[in-house]
Structure 1
Amino acid sequence: MTQDGSDSQLMTAVLTLLREAPGGQTEHALIVRLRDQGVAPFADADLADPMALFRTHFILFHSLYRLREQLAAQGEWLRIHCLDIGIDVLTPDSDGASGRAVAAGDPLRDYYLDLDNLDTMDRATVEAMLSGFWRRLDAGERRHEALELLGLEEPAGVEEVTRRYRQLAQQHHPDKGGDTETLQRLNEARMVLTTEQ
């Protein structure tokens, strides 16, 4: 990726799509819209290939962080998260904080603005990153399901989990009219919540 006309076209396309979705959008939705409009390099990206997926993600986030700096200078703030990308108007309360955030050392900003990180990435590293992402996502989903089963919400500490588990285990124990399957699910939920913290 260079700082030439094609880079400028990409930035313009991204900004246009962001303005068309004032409530924000996900990274995936933005990539799909860029692909559907034939914007390079998104138009031809094979997102099933880990390297192409990483490259697409990196180029988008590189563009977003560059846009954030431009928008901040114009009194706007660009939210950048894979699940929420959108533009907000800076208010007097947020202006100073947002300006400092652009100027201060943001490790993600620094990472995505350094094109060497894109150029030096190899397939093994990308695949390891994706594998780690899916493991963390699975752990988060398991935790959410366990909290739901026990009727708890975040943040739930070990003591609260144990107390709630004991209440439900006593209620659903087979010796007290409950069933074994429910008790086993409660046991698993407690293990997830007390060992994966």
Structure 2
Amino acid sequence: MNLDLDDRLDLAEQLLVLLRAAPQGLSEYQLIQQLKAGHSTHIPHLSLTDKLVLFRTHFLVFNALYRLRDQLCGDASAHLQIGPLHIRLMPWQPGVQALVESDPLRDYYLDESNLRDTTERDVEKLLESFWTRMQGDGEKAAALALFELEDGPVDYALIKLRYRQLVSQHHPDRGGSTTRLQSINKAMEILERYYSRP
């Protein structure tokens, strides 16, 4: 899909247009690519191989997504499901928002000082700490989630197939992100420990 996005709309409204056109939902990467293809002036049109550009683009998109979710909830018109790998517009259900008492991610992304004050070194530390936090029981689940294989049976052949697909999709030579590719490689190392046979 290639929509020309109206720059009179703010980023949250542009995201709403894209999500309405994709009822099955989209990944963050797909949203960013569609914003770029639609010539949105609300995100940087620079290579995502630069860690700081990647962080700022990610932050702007998630800031807009959380603002949009609050707006849709206030209007009682829809519910926005925001996940790290899947973002989807859902029908409005009364009471869903009431179930979320505290959302630290929402608080983080709505505090624009986190965008303004984050340096490239801070981004590097965030990336390093992500995998450190995932050590132990959570590392396997995090790696499967990154590969979008958390639901259903998984074997080594499926993991290798998904790995090749993700590397092809996110390789810097094809406009992907070096940081994302590093995360994919790290996830593959973890999954090989659990699934490959000696």
Q: TM-score, normalised by structure 1?
A: 0.61
Q: Is contact 2:44–2:53 with CA below 8 Å preserved after alignment? A: no
2:119 aligned residue (122, 125, 146):
122
What residue in structure 2 maps to residue 50 of structure 1? Answer: 51
* Structure 1 residue 142 displacement after superposition: 9.8
d(CA) in 2 for partners of 1:45, 1:13:
19
Q: Is contact 1:79–1:87 with CA below 8 Å preserved after alignment? A: yes
CA 1:139–1:100: 2 relative to 1, 3 Å:
closer
Q: Is contact 2:13–2:68 with CA below 8 Å preserved after alignment? A: no
Paired residue type of 2:97: S
Paired residue type of 2:109: Y
What residue in structure 2 maps to residue 97 of structure 1? Answer: 96
2:103 aligned residue (96, 101, 106):
106
What residue in structure 2 maps to residue 179 of structure 1? Answer: none
* Structure 1 residue 141 displacement after superposition: 7.5
What residue in structure 1 maps to residue 32 of structure 2? Answer: 31
Aligned-partner SS, 2:114: helix
1:132 aligned residue (129, 136, 147):
129
CA 1:87–1:50: 2 relative to 1, 3 Å:
same
Choose between structure 1 and 2: higher helix proportion.
1
Q: Deviations over 1:72-115 (max 9, x none)?
A: 12321101112110111123xxx2132452xx321110000000
Answering whether residue 83 of structure 2 is matched by residue 81 of structure 1, we say yes
CA 1:39–1:89: 2 relative to 1, 3 Å:
same
d(CA) in 1 for partners of 2:142, 2:17:
38
CA 1:82–1:141: 2 relative to 1, 3 Å:
closer
* Structure 1 residue 120 displacement after superposition: 0.9
d(CA) in 2 for partners of 1:100, 1:77:
13
Aligned-partner SS, 2:10: helix
Q: Deviations over 1:124-178 (max 9, x none)?
A: 110121233456499438986xx847xxxxxxxxxxxxxxxxxxxxxxxxxxxxx
| Percent pairwise identity | 35
CA 1:54–1:189: 2 relative to 1, 3 Å:
closer
d(CA) in 2 for partners of 1:189, 1:106:
32
What residue in structure 2 maps to residue 184 of structure 1? Answer: none
